[in-house]
Amino acid sequence: MRSDLMKKGLERAPHRSLFKAMGYTDEEIKRPLIGVVNSANEIIPGHIHLGIIADDVKAGIRIAGGTPVEFPAIGICDGIAMGHTGMKYSLASRELIADSVEAMVMAHPFDALVMIPNCDKIIPGMLMAAMRLNIPTIFISGGPMLAGKLKGKTIDLISVFEGVGKVKAGSMSQKELDAIEDCACPGCGSCSGMYTANSMNCVTEALGLGLPGNGTILAVHAARRRLAKEAGMKIMELLKKDVKPRDIATLDAFKNAIAVDMALGCSTNTVLHIPAIAHEAGIKLELDIFNEISKKTPNICKLSPAGAHHIEDLDTAGGIQAVMKRISPLGVINEKVLTVSGKTVGENLKSAVILDDDVIRTLKNPYTKEGGIAILKGNLAPDGCVVKQSAVAENMLVNESKARVFDAEDDAIKAILGGKIKAGDIVVIRYEGPKGGPGMREMLGPTSAIAGMGLDTTVALLTDGRFSGGTRGAAIGHISPEAADGGPIALVREGDIIAIDIPKKKITLKVSPEELKKRKKEFKPKAPTITTGYLARYAKLVTSASTGAIFKD
């Protein structure tokens, strides 16, 4: 056993003594030691209950003959960090999480791991660590939140964000917003729509590293606790068979995950995280693969913010296994790949049942023939950019208009809420990329303000930053290269014409090559906004959004 390095033999008597100081018995020390990585904290609704999930995981491990050893991982709540300097640390925390899990597991050689994440950067950070360490590992998320209810209508966190814009526009009273604020997030769990947290939990299940149900069983349901116990028992089976993450997360498994991503219309942040996770597994995923799989995979689910359904509806309809079963006949799901259940994808799908054709549409009745995400390229984004096309109004799929340019998200929000952005404008927000932000802030603030002001079907927003999974409308992010690296987005001037053609996957700054060359010579990058601490180091190490914002090798 790997843990023998720290517990077996005469020379390890001091080590065993330290274990005994914590109450471990000789019998517990002799058993396989299973690291339980718990991201529980009191600042994220999706994590407030993870102590209960961890207790259930540990019960499962003990049932199957192992000794659980719990240790923590940090987590940032994107919703609470949104709209201020705190958001600069969100994406950057992904690398910290991966590195800290690596440090703990290399310093204390556990035999296997159970990862308990639930929200935005915690999930990919732990997945990256799992690929890097490559010892038997299983994921069990904390599960999604129930949607809120108010006056017979279903609401969620995005209802609150967009309500701010409505109050500013005069279409909603402060009293009405207060009522929404009180009801939108009714309890624990990852926020109830197909935002980044739930997108990544669903991707984890589709990738094969979470048991069936991992992505959709509600946080408040007893089935979530039973799944946690099952995960604890299953890790002992994976350890016995020596099944490691890289045995499961093959190139074919990543393609399965991307196909599910497209069918669901997941967050654009998956385009950052999936390549970064693959990189840790030694697999290079080019951005073009998203478009290739999208062409074959229809968008068959529309969950908030793209539609009225929520994760609870998807779970009732059959969950991720049902989605995979639906799209498998198209040839986009490799059923031969292994999963942490101990079965292949195909074996898992035999018991999957599709229970609601409204939530999971048939292949004859998709929302769109292509998947939920599109990668665009052109002279404004030579290395690519990303849009959740399933959440774009039809009239905005092809659009040409003048640029309104801002060098920071905060300035753009002031202009939007101040009524300075008009129908037809294309808002450009730059110097918000991985390096330039630094930290590549999510921009739910400006997109929600645009929606709240009633402009989401007439105004596009382009940025080298990124968007929340809760964003809807013509929001195009991850423009690469970013402004801080002298990318073409840095050369855009107020009033320039920009042409967007999502169906043709093109984005064009309609300025002559000669003029752009002239502007490039005159270009002086904006001075860094943060020059000390972790973010300053992060800015020096991070690469482009087009590579998943991974660190330089």
Enumerate the active-site residues: 468
For the chain, how many residues are written?
553
Rounded Cα–Cα distance for residues 371 and 105 (Å): 38
Task: Give me 521's structure tokens.
Answer: 């010579």
* Contact by Cβ (8 Å): 288, 375: yes
Task: Give me 5's structure tokens.
Answer: 């390095």
Half-sphere exposure for 63 (CA within 13 Å, toward CB) = 16
- Residue 154, strand partner residues: 149
Helix (H) / strand (E) containing 402 = strand 398-406
- Nearest residue to 270 via CA among 196, 193, 215, 320: 196
Rg (CA), the chain: 23
Helix (H) / strand (E) containing 426 = strand 426-429
Half-sphere exposure for 261 (CA within 13 Å, toward CB) = 34
- Nearest residue to 144 via CA among 311, 266, 313: 311
The residue type of 162 is: E
Helices (H), 115-248: 122-133, 157-169, 174-183, 196-207, 222-241, 245-248
Interacting residues of 82 by C-beta distance below 8 A, sequence separation 6+: 161, 442, 444, 445, 468
Is the preceding peptide bond at 45 cis, omega within 30 degrees of 0?
A: no
Residue 399 falls in which region: left (phi positive, over 0), alpha (psi -120 to 50) or beta: beta
Rounded Cα–Cα distance for residues 350 and 343 (Å): 11
- Nearest residue to 381 via CA among 459, 451, 423, 433: 433
Interacting residues of 539 by C-beta distance below 8 A, sequence separation 6+: 434, 435, 436, 437, 438, 528, 530
